[in-house]
Structure 1
Amino acid sequence: MTYPQSSFVAPNAYSLAEAMFNDAAWFRAIYAGKAPVGFIMLEDDTDKQAYYLWRFMIAPQFQKRGYGAQAIALLIEYVQTRPGAKELLLGYIDHPQGPAEFYRRQGFTETGKVEGGEVEMRLAL
């Protein structure tokens, strides 16, 4: 990721390290054919029946090509199969070049909560 997007999300190496110590972490690389274009990680907590888009990124050279929207659509399909899934939550850093508009186009809406400097969004399933 390049600035300012690099300041909105943790590096993939950090995310993978976190995932190794969290049983609820579900993560995938995002590919276009054989080319890796991004990364997605979900907090998939079936005990609490809570689902949170924890990390999501598409490499700058692959943005605005529909890969992100396709990845989110596939994530939503997956979450809908999880026990008690009623919503998918996420948090974003509010910035003019941030992802808020992208998430709105995917159907997410702000909840009015801000935690740890991140604006919470929700998608009803």
Structure 2
Amino acid sequence: MITLRKITLGNRRAIFNLEVADEQRSFVASNLSSVASCYVLATNGGHPFPFAIYADEQPVGFVMLAYGITGYDEPSIAVDNYCIMRLMIDKQYQNRGYGREAMTKILEFIRTFPAGPAHYCWIPYKHDNVNAKKLYESFGFRDNGEDFNNESITVLSL
């Protein structure tokens, strides 16, 4: 069973040590860098939500969500909407359905509107990340035609 859990003093090292496969490294920042980005977002008026992804009691991935990104060079849809900024499943736990289960939990959390109301959830992704695109589309996300920082923007109506 997949759960989203807060990153704590007790689990942080395990989360920071999770990695994607070598051929996927250009698609996602390290988890340590992502947690640092959460601090920057929070101290500049944003609402980040970093979570460890657990399969039962085993940490298998990481997700970084954000709401209301302002003051940064971001696509127009960023204002007052939720973003799945980072999502990764460790290389040794891929192809077990954990990414799909995690997306279900992530969208359930977003639909509680923890930082405020929104109409959309959006995800930036690298054009050549075909597996991510397939996953997002299976949940109803659709590219909005915007190319931002060499990434496609895919959007889901909440």
- TM-score > 0.5 by shorter chain: yes
The number of residues matched between the two structures is: 125
Is 2:61 the partner of 1:28?
A: no
CA offsets, 1:10-69, max 9 Å, x none?
000100111122121111000111111100000123995221111100112212212111
Q: Match for residue 65 of structure 2?
A: 42
Of residues 10, 26, 34, the one that matches 1:15 is 34
Moved more, 6-15 or 66-75: 66-75
> In proportion to residue count, which structure has more strand?
1
Q: Match for residue 3 of structure 2?
A: none
Instruction: Classify 1:27/1:96 alpha carbon distance in 2 versus 1 (closer, same or farther; 3 Å).
Output: closer
* Secondary structure of 2:21 counterpart: coil
**What is the alpha-carbon distance in structure 2 between the residues aligned to residue 91 and residue 114 of structure 1?**
9
CA offsets, 1:78-111, max 9 Å, x none?
1112132211000110116551111111221111
Is the 8 Å Cα contact of residues 79 and 85 (structure 1) preserved in structure 2? no
Q: Structure 2: give runs of 5+ residues left out of the alignment.
A: 1-19, 71-78
Instruction: Classify 1:15/1:96 alpha carbon distance in 2 versus 1 (closer, same or farther; 3 Å).
Output: closer
**What is the alpha-carbon distance in structure 2 between the residues aligned to residue 74 and residue 87 of structure 1?**
16
Q: Match for residue 5 of structure 2?
A: none
Is the 8 Å Cα contact of residues 27 and 129 (structure 2) preserved in structure 1? no
Instruction: Give the C-alpha shift of residue 3 in structure 1.
Output: 2.3
Is 2:108 the partner of 1:85?
A: no
Root-mean-square deviation (CA), in Å?
1.8
TM-score, length-scaled by structure 2: 0.73
**Which structure would you say has the larger Rg?**
2
> In proportion to residue count, which structure has more helix?
2
Moved more, 25-34 or 92-101: 92-101
